[in-house]
Amino acid sequence: MSDDDPQPIPAATVVVMRERAGDAPELLMLERSRAMRFAGGALVFPGGRVDPADVALAGLEGTADDDRVGRIAAIREAIEEAGVAPGLTPAPDSAALARLRAALITGATLGEALSGEALALDLAQLVPFARWLPHGMPHRIFDTRFYLARMPEGAPDPIVDATENTCLFWMSARDVLEEAAAGRVTIIFPTRRNLERLATFASFADAVADAAAHPIESITPWIEEHPEGDRLCIPEGLGYPITWERVRTALRG
């Protein structure tokens, strides 16, 4: 990353997985509003930037290291954007989720929202999966930590926020990729690479095992010249089955 690139903004996202007997897990996907500057109209996982209050809450819960802060931000964003709460114990019912979400939307911090509920953070429910740090983008740069989380059995159905996102749905990684190949949905380069990796897992346990088997290093794509057309590449050895895409087809946000 050059000195001319903007300062990266810490962010976090969570891949919420819903397991199905005898079939591949489904993932919670959101469609971004087309009016959004970043990834407008694209499918994404719940997530967003880290707030200062996330850092403060991490300090109250223990050491405010970047990973702990990222998990807290991912939980807060999942509640705000989709009305799901990975990382809380016990799993909140629909009424508690509605109260949490309403408090966050009106400006409360996650700590403040939780103070009136019989709920606690359980950060171990979120499993570190990846970290992406693009550069050379025409918009703000996000240093995004990706986490895995299992949707609790019997948890209330997610509800879209209808502001930053226009709809949400459950779909397997392979099916999302097929929808994108058919031109029915849009996915940006990091989402595509993560979906390709997620499509190789038959269960949440498989995903967790794969995450443990690969180092989590900042992934900064680069452009590589090639006789058949320049390629947008990522490093080998980090768990991704496909590590490049032609620049002319890659959507970078």
Q: What angle do CA 59, 60, 64 make, to 5 degrees?
A: 15
Largest CA distance in the chain: 61
All domains of the chain in start order, with CATH: 9-185 (3.90.79.10)
Average pLDDT over every residue of 60-81: 92
β-pairing, 218-219 with 127-132? parallel
Per mean pLDDT, which range of 44-58, 74-88, 124-138 is the poorest? 124-138
Q: What is the pLDDT of residues 105-151, one digit of tens each?
A: 999 999 999 998 999 999 999 999 999 999 866 567 899 999 999 99
pLDDT at 35: 61
Q: CA–CA separation, 41 vs 35, rounded Å? A: 8
Q: CA–CA separation, 165 vs 31, rounded Å? A: 5
Q: What is the pLDDT of residues 159-206, one digit of tens each?
A: 998 788 889 999 999 999 999 999 999 999 999 999 999 999 999 999
Q: What angle do CA 239, 155, 87 make, to 5 degrees?
A: 50
pLDDT at 1: 47
Considering just the CA atoms, what is the radius of gyration of the chain in Å? 18
Average pLDDT over every residue of 58-85: 93
Per mean pLDDT, which range of 28-42, 66-80, 188-202 is the poorest? 28-42
Greater confidence (39 vs 160) lies with 160
- 19 pLDDT above the threshold of 80: yes
Percent of the chain with pLDDT over 90: 82
Backbone phi, then psi, for 151, in 5-degree steps?
Answer: -70, 125
This prediction's pTM: 0.94
- 210 pLDDT above the threshold of 70: yes
Average pLDDT over every residue of 215-238: 96
